[in-house]
Amino acid sequence: MVKVTYVHHDGTRTEVDGKEGDTVMHTAVAQDVEGIVGECGGAMMCATCHCYVDDEWLDAAGERRDGEEDMLDCGAAEVKPNSRLSCQIRLSPALDGLVVHLPEEQM
């Protein structure tokens, strides 16, 4: 299992165990983490899974994928240097303990 901590806009934290190979978005949706909608199911078509990767985890989470930047620009929340679509971050042992911050709104 890979631990992921979702930090909500109000500062509350939700820590869950995800399965290696699943995405940060699927993990949140499967465990009813509020703040990740995942309207398109992970097809990188909606930006309702926008998150901000904690600075300590930027290198481990990797670079944005092709098309991710364009989709982030269509979302409701401000795009920052650490913005990612959580459907594009796959859990691996290197991400055990990952912390992502959630925007105030997704839609």
34-71 tens-digit pLDDT: 999 999 999 999 999 999 999 999 999 999 999 999 99
Domain membership of residue 106 (yes or no) is no
pTM, two decimal places: 0.95
Phi/psi of residue 68, nearest 5 degrees: -65, -40
According to DSSP, the β-strands at 13-18 and 83-85 are: unpaired
**How many domains does one find in the chain?**
1
Q: Is residue 107, in this structure, part of any structural domain at all?
A: no
Residue 31, domain CATH: 3.10.20.30
Please report whether residue 82 resides in a domain. yes
Range of the domain at 70: 2-101
The tens digit of pLDDT for each residue in 62-84 reads 999 999 999 999 999 999 999 99
Total residue length of the chain = 107
**Domain annotation covers residue 73:** yes
